[in-house]
Structure 1
Amino acid sequence: MSPSLAFLLLALAPAFAQNDTAARLARAFAAIDRAATASTAPGMVVGITDRTRTLKIGAYGYANLNSKTRITPETLFEIGSVSKSFTAISLMELFDEDRFDPQEPVAKYLPWFALKSRYRAITGHDLLTHTSGLQNYRPDLASMPFAALSLRDFEPSYAPGEHYWYSNLGFQVLGYVLEHIDAAKYDTIVQRRILNRLGMSATHAAIDDALRARLPQSYSHWPYTGEFTEEPWFEYLAADGSIASTAGDMTAYARLILNRGVAPSGRLLSERAFAQLTRPTLNSYAYGLFVRQDDGDTVIQHGGGIAGFQTLLEMHMQDGFGIIAMGNGGLDRELVQFAIASVKAALRDKPLPDPPARPSSAAITNSGDFAGLFSSGARSLEFSAAGNRLTLKQSGASIPLLRVQGDTFRVESGILAEYYFVFTRNAGKVTELSYGPDWYTSKAYTGPKQFDTPPEFAAYAGRYVNHNPEEGAVHVFVRKGQLFLATGTGPGQRLLPAGPATFRPGAPEFNPERISFDSIVEGHALRLLRSGMPMYRMDLR
């Protein structure tokens, strides 16, 4: 080979490699589109970017199931807790300007912030990393400043920095810190500091009534029918989840992180600030972002959910790509993970993964494990297995069960959809069944069947409601002598005593949330306080 030919081939090698990568990515994108056709999510977008440009935006399904209005690449979605990183980045800009120090007490910047605490003062770092010890959320005070002020009555159960406990309230407080320092409203600050710099012209940092008509209808699964039902509308203005954006704008945001704080117009964050932003602490959480090592790469990501909308933002720093997935009725997690794996395989010149298998939730390969009669005194439930199907026999009918996960099942619709059927094993064999407050045993069960129940528990059992749009009702019941609280159709979480008429969820041991009961009339508590949120007895039957 002549020297000139060798030089030419060497010069052309990067172009050949680039073309080969583009071809592999094109095959990956086509595979993602094919897999999306099997999705049952109402509507969804998937955006993919490298460090310089948006590579793909796929739009699937419907913005409105009734009108059959299609999702488009320009559809606006509420991004929920992905907003937290916008708050963190804005504060780290102030850090670069020597106007905010995350190691200083929050009260330095927000004088009215106070707790009933015997521990050291909470810092910005504590709030940014969810290690402050604050409770999670007040749905009844969603994005209202009083939610932060109400913390003056909160008594932390451990010192800041000891444990990780996700706190939306903590990020709401950070938003008020940001407003106090920068002397402007949160949405104005985010617009000026981030959105304008990145050209995110379609993004809004306040979810208000004026924005409603531009958003798709959002949905959730109604457990009694299995259908998608419309989520109620509500405004949201606080710094833990007030942003709505498009796939195109969010790929621009992903590039800011892929480029370590560098925007198209120059540095938005210093290298020092970006390193602090992405330095993980407890539970792999940094400042408004999860950071983990996975398959030889640093992965920076966060999810979000609000009013039926769900979002996942994920950046693979060494492979050099980011993905944004947004849905208006939950996310098709299998599709999103397939998309991530496909792009990674294309960039690494590996074979594409198989598309999601999507087995039917009615296909229960170990159905025989759960077949048989389960009894509770004079009552009983009988389950039958045939092939890969499990059914509940009731009043001459056979009701199919669908797997939720593991040994937990549900029925598709009807009154029995009120709770999950949760089977328990002993030495690998199914011996117990829980259905809300009801507890049954199989003939293989050899443990006790009588339990001492504190007499005051009878006053607490019941259904409690708060008419806010995010969290409607909870059920409190006694099972095996223990008190449980269940939200939705879930199996319930055990409540452990934490003071007079006060309890904490059983896990983890340091859980700062508190449940208390009061206003007992004719043997029934009429009010439940769930981490400060009042809920009132409203029994259906």
Structure 2
Amino acid sequence: MTADREGLADRLDVFINALLPHWPARQGAVALLHADGSVEAWGFGEADASPDRLFQVGSITKSFVSVVVHQCVDEGLLSLDDDITTLLPWADLGAGGRPTRVRDLLAHTTGLILGGDGVPDEGLQLWWLRDLERSADPAPHFHYSNVGYMLLGLAVEAVTGRSFDEVVSERVLTPLGMVRSRGCTPDFDAMLMAEGTWPVNRSVPWRPGEPIERAVWLPTTATDGCVLSSARELAAFARLLLGDGSVDGVRLLSPESMSSITSPAAPEGETIVALRGLADVTMSRYGLGVNVEEIGGHHCVTHGGGMIGFQTFLLVDRTAGVAAVGFTNANGNFPLGQVIARAAHALLLDPDAALPAPSDAVALPEFAEGWLGTFISDADPEPTIDVSRASATTLTLRSSCGDGTLTRVWSGRFVCDVPGLRTFHWDAVDDGWTHGPHRFRATAGQTVPRVHSDVVGTYRSHTAWYPWLRVVEREGALFLAAPGGVEAPESEEPLVSVSEGAWRIGADEWLPERLVRGPVVNGRAVSVLRDGVPYSRTEERITGA
């Protein structure tokens, strides 16, 4: 190993361990694939961390699904232009029989919902689709859909006559030497795994430094996120994505299929967590199973994975011939693995690259003057807050509820440590702040008639993916807010009425997600359905806010 490479690993390890106090994770692993084909891998954090420990890779599974689908294409078992309902005749996907091609499922451009995570297995989630909304807009929009990849996994099983676990093990894992990796996550594998974690209090936004605990273990065979692997073995999969479909003289895919996977297909792509001071991501468009990015002029493909208790990321630079893997035991909505992999990629390209400060690693806008000063809410009662600068990542907040700190987190949103002011994220806007039902301005705003909707309130569900949601009224409109969760939105989403007692989640007219009001008792809805998943109203006093 050269001195430069020794220094690279040391610098990255120091950076990673300095990151951990700012994120809800205890351990993880990293693997670096160098241009000469050699791999460096190590664990970080707790003493038992290892690059050979198995993690749930989450949605990186989708890249494995795409490889297997393209192998079936190469063999004439199916076509990218096949309608999924010809492969799965029982599937009813709504939207008046709108065609659903295999290639569109791979690209997340079918208009299907993100997922119906109220049940743990794919069969019922996919059956429910006939009763749920789907975008009828024929224009292709990138809208990430886990259920789409569940359908693809079942299509592979239909054309091969074998389970996806068997197919991906025989066709991908074994040829690549990924001997410990698995094509599903059975219950008995929990003892072989790294221990996943999540925040102790999941009813309010997590603040850096707050406690985390062991997360619930969720075995799965659903092909949106069922693969188990280690950081070291995932580097072997990265070697496949670097080339033309052949590894060490063994051809797994035709060059045409590899080009299909790694070329942009959707009009947009996944949200990028960019790091301060490093090369800009100038393009992000989803391909057929990977996100296709241009980073500093290099053609790269990436994929993240979020599971209950695990967050992972794979970055493959097809121009430079290098790759980085970041595995963490943070809950899946905290993209620590992505931060690690992007920092590793920068060092692979330039061992002397200047990494950002771990406490302020994500590239976010500087604090604006419009965020500072005294602000009054137009909600009843009308609290007043005073906000001043404290550090590069924190602001001081003074209010009638108490004084404390607003800390900016990776998403650009803020979290507060004042009891009574931590139920919701704080969002900075041009001339003030929003916080749940409050819109804070430097001067009193124009009075807007209240909605007084019977759906306003706090709701919870047994789904570990998205356990809490709140519906708030602000300035005459309704919003859905979630404190966290792997499948929960990172930002507040407007609720747009589409019929009596039903709202679209999000502003864009083509979005398929819906919130539907349940029974109303004494002027308050006792439940809501989020894309078929039931939530019951609960009292705010039990949330620990």
**TM-score class, shorter:** 0.7 to 0.9
So what's the TM-score if we normalise by structure 1? 0.86
Distance 1:406 1:80, change over 3 A: closer
From 222, 232, 236, the equivalent of 2:220 is: 236
- Does the alignment pair 1:379 with 2:377? no
* Paired position in structure 2 for 1:45: 29
User: 1:197-246 CA deviation, whole Å, 9 max, x = no partner?
Assistant: 11101101111211001112212344466222322111121111001101
Task: Show CA shifts across 1:404-427 (max 9, x none).
Answer: 3697421247443211222322xx
Greater Rg by CA: 1
TM-score by length of 2: 0.85
The Cα shift of 1:460 comes to 0.9
> Structure 2 CA distance, aligned partners of 1:117 and 1:365?
44
Deviation of the 1:265 alpha carbon: 5.0
Name 1:179's counterpart in structure 2: 157
Q: Secondary structure at the match of 1:339?
A: helix
Tell me the secondary structure at the aligned position of residue 166 of structure 1. Answer: coil
Counterpart residue type for residue 79 of structure 1:
V
Match of 2:234 among 244, 250, 256: 250
- The Cα of 1:397 is off from its aligned counterpart by 4.8
Pick one of 101, 110, 113 that aligns with 1:123: 101
Aligned-partner SS, 2:76: coil
Query: Structure 2 stretches of 5 or more lacking a match?
Result: 269-284, 485-489
Over aligned residues, Cα RMSD in angstroms?
2.6
Please, which of 429, 437, 442 is the counterpart of residue 424 of structure 1? 429
User: Which amino acid counterpart does residue 381 of structure 1 have in structure 2?
Assistant: T
| Preserved CA contact (<8 Å) 1:335 1:356 | no
| CA drift at 1:146 | 1.3
1:26 aligns with 2:3: no
* Structure 2 Cα separation of the partners of residues 137 and 407 of structure 1: 25
Alignment of 1:227-376 (within 5 A): 227-264=211-248, 266-282=250-266, 283=268, 284-329=285-330, 330=334, 331=336, 333-346=338-351, 352-359=352-359, 369-376=371-378
Q: State the distance in 2 between where 1:397 and 1:438 align.
A: 17
In 1, Cα distance between equivalents of 2:91 and 2:367: 54
CA distance in 2, matches of 1:367, 1:287: 43
AA aligned opposite 1:374: I
Distance in 2, matches of 1:365 and 1:120, equals: 46
Q: Name the stretch that deviates more: 208-217 or 462-471.
A: 462-471
Letter aligned with residue 13 of structure 2: D
Q: Greater CA deviation, 224-233 or 529-538?
A: 224-233
2:90 maps to 112
Conserved in 2, the CA contact under 8 Å of 1:504 and 1:511? yes
> Quick check: 262-271 or 45-54, which moved more?
45-54
Preserved contact between residue 496 and residue 505 of structure 1 (Cα < 8 Å): yes
Deviations 1:59-79 (A, max 9, x none): 1112xxxxxx42012111111
Structure 1 CA distance, aligned partners of 2:252 and 2:401? 68
Contact 1:407 1:424 in 2 (8 A): no
**Contact 2:39-2:235 at 8 Å conserved across structures:** no
Match of 1:65 in 2: none
1:469 correspondence with 2:471:
no
Query: Residue in 2 aligned with 1:188?
Result: 166
State the distance in 1 between where 2:81 and 2:318 align.
Answer: 27
* Contact residue 258 and residue 317 of structure 1 kept, 8 A: yes
Count how many residue pairs are aligned between Structure 1 and Structure 2.
499
Q: Residue deviations 1:256-284, cap 9 Å, x none?
A: 11122113351000112212222211221
Among 57, 71, 74, the alignment partner of 2:49 is 71
CA distance in 2, matches of 1:406, 1:216: 26
SS of 2:18's partner is coil
Give the corresponding residue for 1:459: 454
Q: Pick from 61, 69, 75: which aligns with 1:97?
A: 75
Tell me: CA distance 1:372–1:237, structure 2 relative to 1, closer, same or farther (3 Å).
same
Is residue 2:162 matched to residue 1:202?
A: no
2: CA distance, partners of 1:534 / 1:387: 42
AA matched with 2:372: F
* Residue matched to 1:154: 132
Question: For residue 254 of structure 1, what is the amino acid of its counterpart?
Answer: A
Tell me the CA shift for residue 378 of structure 1: 4.7
Percent identity of paired positions between Structure 1 and Structure 2? 26
Tell me the distance in 2 between the aligned counterparts of 1:234 and 1:407: 30
Measure, in 2, the Cα distance between the counterparts of 1:160 and 1:238: 28
Instruction: Report the structure, 1 or 2, having the larger helix content.
Output: 1
Aligned letter for 1:74?
Answer: D
- How far off is 1:294 after superposition? 2.8
Conserved 8 A contact 1:437-1:477 = yes
